[in-house]
Amino acid sequence: MTQILFTAGPVEMYSETLRIGGEQVPYFRTEEFSQIVLDCEAAMCELTGASAGSKTVLLTSSGSGAMEAAVINFAGPGDRVLIIAGGSFGERFCEICEQHGIPYDAVHLEPGHTLTSAKIDALDLDKHKTLLVNAHETTTGVLYDLQHLGAACRKHGTFFIVDAISAFLCDPIDMTGMSIDVLLTSSQKALSLAPGLSILVLGPRALEKIKERKVCSYYFALSRYLAEGERGQTPFTPAVGVILQLHERLRAIKAVGVAELTRRCACLAASFRTSIRGLPLAVFPDCPSNALTALAPTNSFTAYSIYSHLKSRYGLIVTPNGGALRDRIFRVGHMGNLEASDLHALTSALKEILQ
């Protein structure tokens, strides 16, 4: 049975990406590969709206590795950080801070609830040097207001780190306009590549901050990556094959434009949410991202049983949840190489299962 991924990552890849993935991985300490890395760095700064002089780091790790790298390179035991925690990934920022002895306060939100304008205005940022937020809390589908959060950080001089791993290319991202100092993303989300590569885009304030810090990590010290990056290389063996995929994918994205890709994702999300009206399914978050739709069954079906039926009977793979949300919600991704016809097939399957 052919399977289609409506998941939160990995996602359906494009044909050219698959072709590159089937080729022999080359030796990478060469001028040719260095140029590819330099091209990727410049493209990522451009596509994220980074300020002049910003830099990109290609990190061979999952997105969680990028989260940890961002925390330990830009916060320390003498810094107090504020974390927006509305799901598992917000809590992961808390766990990383605890692991490294970094003092923090967390704004704990009910699953599926965004941070309102009033709550953003009430944040006590004067006593916090850094704000950490997952632009899109992937476990619940909720999107936070980066524009408003960035304005608050700018007002108080707070350093702003944004995990945009599942928001980049799905929701509007503008590092300069949103006062974002560090932006994180990963290969297996809307970039539609194989897993294994994370990307950090560092703004001017972040680059200055790195000069001041001594990081107690050998692999995650970003100063190493910046030094090697001057010549288009990495300090350790990178995910060479994924970087080659990234190079081609960024070329394709630049040809279409970030705004157009974001618009397409928004249209897919809106069309799908319209198509399921009348089904015993409620959109879970109060402010959903374009990246995915988190759905809560309102009849006797559990979320996990719907996931299982879709997988076994139709080959349609949505994203289940774990923990306390296992039976409450499942998630339908709108990232990657998906067409309206794919989501139509999913809607038809949901109608057969639920009606």
Asked if residue 269 lies in contact with residue 339, where contact means CB atoms within 8 angstroms, the answer is no
DSSP 72-101: HHH--TT--EEEEESSHHHHHHHHHHHHTT
pLDDT for res 95: 98
- Whole-number Å distance between alpha carbons of 140 and 88: 9
Which residues does the chain have with pLDDT short of 70? none
Residue matched to tokens 């709206």: 49
Give the C-alpha distances (Å, rounded to integers) separating 124 from 24, 93, 147, 284.
52, 19, 17, 28
What SS3 state is found at 130? strand
pLDDT for res 355: 84
Structure tokens at 23: 């080729």
Asked if residue 56 lies in contact with residue 41, where contact means CB atoms within 8 angstroms, the answer is yes
pLDDT for res 7: 98
CATH fold for domain 4-9+257-354: Aspartate Aminotransferase, domain 1 (3.90.1150)
pLDDT digits (tens, 9 = 90+) for 33-71: 999 999 999 999 999 999 999 999 999 999 999 999 999
HSE-up of residue 256 (Cα within 13 Å, Cβ side): 13
Give the C-alpha distances (Å, rounded to integers) separating 119 from 69, 114, 142, 148, 206.
28, 10, 16, 11, 26
Rg of the chain's alpha carbons, rounded to an integer?
Answer: 20
Sequence-distant (≥ 6) Cβ neighbours of residue 144 within 8 angstroms: 84, 86, 114, 115, 133, 134, 135, 136, 137, 287
Asked if residue 189 lies in contact with residue 11, where contact means CB atoms within 8 angstroms, the answer is yes
Comparing CA positions, the residue from 292, 317, 310 lying closest to residue 349 is 310
Angle at 204 between CA 198 and CA 209, to 5 degrees: 85
| Domain coordinates in residue numbering, the chain | 4-9+257-354, 15-256
Which CATH class for the 15-256 domain?
alpha beta
HSE-up of residue 347 (Cα within 13 Å, Cβ side): 19
